[in-house]
Structure 1
């Protein structure tokens, strides 16, 4: 069965922003290669202006976020949804719920609605209590108005089962193995192998950037610490100012050259992953695929992916201890190889795309042949 599928809820493809754009890029192209018709909705501000990308149809909708800030996301999602209502898609896959679920009553009744439930957005410390309260409500609406659900983490799957009594399908993100072409970039890198620590993240408090850099700042390490991420926001400016006198810390800005980023991950002595909220994080999987040795924030999301194949930290003292004491011996090589094996057999893109296609087909078939199941909201 070949379906007409629309993907909403992202800023668009090819990816120039984050996780949902990243997975939408791979899944949309993968579904097209499997014979489905796929449309991805792009912000009119997206740098890619064409009507198609690698066989995927692109619909550009007006996005006023650049004028009115975050409120513009709600307008953009509304515009995408109004366009989608005209096009009789078999399946609408909504990536996240933050600014889309408020329009749940407008979801096309004849389309199979699947929502990727994102990563407990209301826990993010960057949001005020009022915004966190709204995000809980948005989560509730997403459960109410969707027909089927995807969780990108087993932690989120358990949460949805406990909170709302819904059975979501666990499908993680994927990552590509470190290619030979990318390996060549390593030898051309401006840094000698393993002479620096590395962190790559959006400049947000819940990514524990301050904690990580506090620990390093207080250490006696002679290595450099490279930070990848756009520092133009308020928190980024705060971080760069706080550590401006530590010449070991280098803020490199955003780097969208994937080969260069992965070479830097591969080269690093220890890669710090501070994300504490969300599901399976794409940058973590890429670090694993790039054969980086990883130190991760101690939380269930990271542990569900890394298990015993990483070092963990909870505070700046833990970070300082890791910076001063981690060695690169056989045990550490085993940790790296175990994570690489997970990418090969659990988090590879072909497997992820196969899981998306199977769930989309099964969901559409079940909705077409059975009465809708009404879930209790717990």
Structure 2
């Protein structure tokens, strides 16, 4: 098959979850003998024409000049280019800035869309923007031949709201089993004597609630906040918690080996995400044997089940911080680790995507 992947900033991953998936899946497809093309922003750090057998198509992306609106132009450029390529399948990862151009998608290929999370529910967006995103979601549902839901909650939502079936395929992670304690020195922490959050610093990820709880606890254990803090909300958080020296904003970290080791050696790993499907960083925490304290919602519970502690407010965080130790909860950690190996491993996820591609081609 000749396959295109749209909707990411490109591969290899320098940004986030969809980019990580696009990297793993595109290389997998190439190894299986398929002709694969991934669209990259023109200013992506990786400027080669191929990556491990995957063809890279750089397209102009003005986001660096004009902000979020640039994503719409970048997606338009990718879609216009796809009309020249005679693809069999176009896999769209998300729809936020691409579905408005659905009428320009080429007619021949099957359009398969991963519907991501419920973007219009994100509190970082104003009410008018949320309405636009809900409309974009509707366009994506109507213009796609097949839908993928990366959580059972999203699958249920699509069926109830649009009467449209989707294929449930979770996100994946690689099990991590070779820790290197020396990496901790770069972050000035000691094994099992620090807590951490890894997330985009956005309101719906409950960073403020978690840090409020840490502040209330008067606990002096280092708390690493990993994520880009050079934002309006990041600056607000830094100012609010500047009098707590144990709360350390260390910025974004994309080195997977470093992140895996931090998760492995942390005492408590806080996961505050409250919107969306299967969150990549949550699976990676499970795969790195972190003890997870998660926001209490259906998306997180569908993945973690009884193998985590849950919080709803800062008082919960305070109590859990003071009362919970990793070494007392090794059974929870092992259960999550086993779930990655059996349910959420990349080979299984990649195989399920490929199976969907093959069956959809044969149906058409």
Q: Which residue of 1 aligns with 2:336?
A: 339
* 1:245 to partner: Cα distance: 0.6
Which deviations, in whole Å up to 9, do the C-alpha atoms of 1:331-373 show, x marking residues without a partner? x11100000001000000000100010001111221x2xxxxx
2:271 to 249, 270, 273: 273
Mapped to 2, the partners of 1:5 and 1:257 lie a distance apart of: 28
**Kept after mapping to 2: 8 A contact 1:186/1:266:** no
**Kept after mapping to 2: 8 A contact 1:92/1:114:** yes
Length-normalised TM-score, structure 1: 0.94
Structural mapping, 1:4-43, within 5 Å: 4-43=2-41
1:112 to 93, 110, 113: 110
Unaligned runs of 5+ in 2: none
Q: Does 1:200 align with 2:195?
A: no
Mapped to 2, the partners of 1:352 and 1:304 lie a distance apart of: 17
2:146 to 140, 148, 161: 148
* 1:186 to partner: Cα distance: 2.4
Q: Which residue of 1 aligns with 2:184?
A: 189
**Kept after mapping to 1: 8 A contact 2:192/2:326:** no
Mapped to 1, the partners of 2:308 and 2:177 lie a distance apart of: 23
Mapped to 1, the partners of 2:155 and 2:240 lie a distance apart of: 38
- Please provide the CA RMSD for this pair: 0.9
* 1:222 to partner: Cα distance: 2.6
Q: Which residue of 2 aligns with 1:326?
A: 324
Which deviations, in whole Å up to 9, do the C-alpha atoms of 1:156-205 show, x marking residues without a partner? 0000011111110111111111142xx1x225422221111110111111
Mapped to 2, the partners of 1:328 and 1:179 lie a distance apart of: 17
Mapped to 1, the partners of 2:175 and 2:277 lie a distance apart of: 20
* 1:109 to partner: Cα distance: 1.1
Mapped to 1, the partners of 2:108 and 2:4 lie a distance apart of: 13
**Kept after mapping to 1: 8 A contact 2:271/2:294:** yes
Moved more, 54-63 or 219-228: 219-228
Moved more, 307-316 or 251-260: 251-260
Matched residue SS, 2:223: strand
Mapped to 2, the partners of 1:362 and 1:240 lie a distance apart of: 50
1:314 to 312, 315, 318: 312
Q: Looking at both structures, which has the greater relative contact order when contacts are Cα pairs under 8 Å and sequence separation is at least 6? A: 1
Length-normalised TM-score, structure 2: 0.98
**Kept after mapping to 1: 8 A contact 2:15/2:254:** no
Q: Does 1:46 align with 2:44?
A: yes
**Kept after mapping to 2: 8 A contact 1:295/1:313:** yes
1:350 to 347, 350, 353: 347
* 1:328 to partner: Cα distance: 3.6
Matched residue SS, 2:10: coil
Q: Which residue of 1 aligns with 2:75?
A: 77
Matched residue SS, 2:5: strand
Matched residue SS, 1:277: coil
Which deviations, in whole Å up to 9, do the C-alpha atoms of 1:33-71 show, x marking residues without a partner? 111110000000111100000100000000111111111
Matched residue SS, 1:189: helix
Which deviations, in whole Å up to 9, do the C-alpha atoms of 1:205-235 show, x marking residues without a partner? 1110000000000103231111111100110
Mapped to 1, the partners of 2:116 and 2:227 lie a distance apart of: 21
Matched residue SS, 1:177: coil
**Kept after mapping to 1: 8 A contact 2:94/2:114:** yes
Structural mapping, 1:55-70, within 5 Å: 55-70=53-68
Which deviations, in whole Å up to 9, do the C-alpha atoms of 1:295-343 show, x marking residues without a partner? 000011100100000000011011001001113455x111000000010
Mapped to 2, the partners of 1:53 and 1:72 lie a distance apart of: 25
Q: Which residue of 2 aligns with 1:373?
A: none
